[in-house]
Structures are given as structure tokens and as C-alpha cells.
């Protein structure tokens, strides 16, 4: 549905050129929930803004279906843009309008009759769970409720894609979870393709099918969420999945085994069986196993036994039961 071919974006600033994106290639499938994750300054917002040409790439092509958006005249581009809705971290609601007035706004601009606009806005506000707050002003709503209004407003023009730029970053964990569930619901009920920009792996875990990991303006890695979780290939993906703060901080580097759980095996029996089978105590330095779609995914870090014989036994046991692992060192921080 959306395809980037060799997209680059350079900003000219008084301090010189800033290359925000370099030669980005990616493809987002119709009906999917696609995550773009990266650290602050990685280029995520620029990337998402290039999807609807709020930002024009300096090089490359942006296809929406099979149309190169960069080749369109202004009127035609506006038409295509209506099919691409967007929500933001700061909600961007009109403060002097009620929730209903906010959702009616894009319909009024599109020339829809007031009666029809109100009817549609009411339906959308019901869909996002705000049946009782239609006449409330943004200042009377919580962050989660404001984001629900913003979602309803973005859906008013029947977009095929909804771009969500850090849409849950200003919300607490419970509200985040509820908003992500709502987006998942919208994807399933309305078949709207959803692109989620985030710096938080847990957001990707909760709703995305596929993910692109962005680092310093390039795509470091892309693939199905469970594959990237199971076997992160890039250093940046490893850091995002398993932040350093989860690892032991003893001041000295330790030799470790990094175990990957792939959704079949739950982590607890594996460790207790390993202890019994190999007759060795294992020191768990960190774990970030998560439940994704009802299956356990994630990683666990074990300190290696110093005894080489016991180490060989542990590795052979893991091979036998089919748990992926790799050897490494913790950082001495």
C-alpha cells in the first residue's frame, strides 16, 4: 500500500546540512499494522511525514498504492492525502470546539452537509467509546479521551491509512494499552492500515505485525515482529528489545548466554529443567520475556558457569530442547 524507494531527506539549516533519512526502502502491506521504531532523532517523524508528503523527500519515490505521490499536482495530492489520516502525541484538537465539533471539522471542510456530518461524527465518537462526552471541550477531557477524539477525527474522511506519530507517548501505561487496543480494533473492523511510530518496543509488541527499526536515518532491520524479537540482527534492535538497564551492573564484564524464546516454550520450566538436567545453578542476569498474541517471546540473559564441562552441558541441553542462544559479554557499566 505504501512503498518507499530510495527515499532520502536532507534538511538545510544555518548550522549546515542534516541528513535525516538515507536511502530508505520499505513496503507497508494493505491492512497491516506496521511499526517504525527508533531512538530519539533516528528519523521516525521525518519518515512518517514523508508518507503523506507533509515533508517532501529530497531523493527517491513514495508510492501510495501504485501512484508516486511526488509526481502529483497539488489538487490531486490533496485528494490522495484525504486517504491518509494522522494522529499526534499532542492530539492537536481545536480547543474552542467540542469533541463533536472537532470530528465534524474535516467533514465541513470536505463540503459535507451539516446534518450528515453530525451523524457521521456521532457514529465515530461512539466507535471510539466517547458516547457520553460528545459535548465536552478538550480541556474537559483526559489525555486518553483527547486521543480518542483525535482518532475519530482522523477517521472522518474514511482514510485507508492511519499514521500514528508517538500517539501514546504522552499517556500512562493503562491508557496506552487501551488506545492501542482501540487502534487494533479499528484495523480489524474498518480494515484501516495502521502505521505506528514509537520509541517503545512494548507498543510494537502489543499491536504490530511488522516493524522497521530506524537508526541514524537508515533502516537497520525490518521484518515480522516475532522474527525481529527472536533474532534481532542489528545492534540497535538488540538495544531496543533488551535495554542495558535490564542487565546486571556489577562493574565487571561477565560472559553470558542470551537465550531467545520463540513463542512455543515458556521460560520458567526451561530454566528449572536446565538446572536439574545439567546439575548446575544458573544465575539469571536479566529477562525481558513478553506475551505477544498469547505466546511468550523475548530474551533471557544467563551468566555462564565458569566450569567448562558444565557450560558444555548447558549448551547441549539448550540445543536438545531447541532454544536459540548466543554467547556474549555484558557491558561493564
DSSP letters spanning 101-132? HHHHHHHHHTT--HHHHHHHHHHHHHHTT-GG
Residue number with CB closer to ligand ATP (214 or 282): 214
213 touches ligand ATP by CB under 6 A: no
Residue choice 6, 29, 41, 135 for contact with ligand ATP (CB under 6 A): 41
For ligand ATP, the binding residues in 43-82 under the rule CB under 6 A are 43-46
Q: x-or-dash pattern for ligand ATP, window 171-210, by CB under 6 A?
A: ----------------------------x-----------
Residue choice 1, 7, 20, 93 for contact with ligand ATP (CB under 6 A): 20
Residue number with CB closer to ligand ATP (18 or 270): 18
Residue choice 3, 8, 10, 18 for contact with ligand ATP (CB under 6 A): 18
Q: Which of 300, 272, 308, 265 is nearest to 284 (CA)?
A: 300
In sequence order, the 6+-apart residues with CB closer than 8 A to the CB of 56 are: 50, 70
Work out how close the CB of 9 gets to ligand ATP at its nearest, in angstroms, rounded to a whole number.
8
> Do the Cβ atoms of 326 and 255 come closer than 8 Å?
no
Residue choice 13, 132, 174, 264 for contact with ligand ATP (CB under 6 A): 13
Q: For residue 161, give Cα distances in angstroms to 95, 214, 224, 296.
A: 25, 20, 19, 30
Q: Select the span of 40-48, 114-122, 147-155, 223-231 touching ligand ATP (CB under 6 A).
A: 40-48
- State the chain's maximal CA–CA distance in angstroms: 78
Find the radius of gyration of the CA atoms of the chain. 23
> Do the Cβ atoms of 183 and 207 come closer than 8 Å?
yes
> Do the Cβ atoms of 304 and 257 come closer than 8 Å?
yes
Number of residues that bind ligand ATP (CB under 6 A): 13
Residues that bind ligand ATP (CB under 6 A): 11, 13, 18, 20, 38, 40-46, 199
Amino acid at each position: 500500500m505504501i512503498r518507499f524507494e530510495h527515499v532520502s531527506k536532507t534538511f538545510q539549516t544555518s548550522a549546515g546540512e542534516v541528513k535525516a533519512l538515507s536511502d530508505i526502502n520499505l513496503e507497508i502491506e494493505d491492512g497491516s499494522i506496521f511499526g517504525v521504531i527508533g531512538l530519539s532523532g533516528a528519523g521516525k517523524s521525518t519518515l512518517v511525514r514523508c508518507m503523506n508528503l507533509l515533508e517532501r523527500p529530497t531523493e527517491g519515490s513514495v508510492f501510495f498504492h501504485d501512484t508516486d505521490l511526488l509526481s502529483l499536482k497539488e489538487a490531486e495530492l490533496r485528494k490522495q492525502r484525504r486517504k491518509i489520516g494522522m494522529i499526534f502525541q499532542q492530539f492537536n484538537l481545536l480547543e474552542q470546539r467540542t469533541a463533536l465539533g472537532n470530528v465534524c471539522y474535516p467533514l465541513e471542510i470536505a463540503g459535507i452537509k451539516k446534518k450528515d456530518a453530525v451523524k457521521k461524527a456521532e457514529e465515530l465518537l461512539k466507535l471510539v467509546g466517547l458516547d457520553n462526552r460528545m459535548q465536552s471541550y478538550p480541556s474537559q477531557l483526559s489525555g486518553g479521551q483527547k486521543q480518542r477524539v483525535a482518532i475519530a477525527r482522523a477517521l472522518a474522511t474514511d482514510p485507508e491509512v492511519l499514521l500514528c506519530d508517538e500517539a501514546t507517548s504522552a499517556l500512562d501505561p493503562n491508557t496506552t494499552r487501551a488506545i492501542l487496543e482501540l487502534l487494533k480494533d479499528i484495523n480489524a473492523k474498518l480494515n484501516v492500515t495502521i502505521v505506528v511510530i514509537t520509541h517503545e518496543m512494548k507498543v510494537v509488541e502489543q499491536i504490530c505485525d511488522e516493524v522497521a527499526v530506524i537508526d541514524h536515518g537508515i533502516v537497520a532491520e525490518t521484518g515480522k515482529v516475532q522474527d525481529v524479537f527472536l533474532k534481532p540482527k542489528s545492534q540497535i534492535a538488540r538495544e531496543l528489545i533488551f535495554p542495558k538497564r535490564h542487565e546486571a551492573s556489577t562493574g565487571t564484564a561477565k560472559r553470558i548466554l542470551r537465550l531467545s524464546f520463540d513463542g512455543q516454550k515458556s521460560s520458567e520450566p526451561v530454566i528449572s529443567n536446565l538446572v536439574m538436567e545439567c546439575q548446575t545453578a544458573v544465575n539469571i542476569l536479566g529477562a525481558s520475556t513478553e506475551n505477544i498474541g498469547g505466546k511468550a517471546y523475548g530474551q533471557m540473559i544467563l551468566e555462564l558457569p565458569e566450569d567448562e564441562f558444565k557450560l558444555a552441558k548447558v549448551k547441549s541441553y539448550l540445543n536438545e530442547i531447541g532454544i536459540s542462544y548466543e554467547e556474549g559479554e555484558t557491558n561493564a557499566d
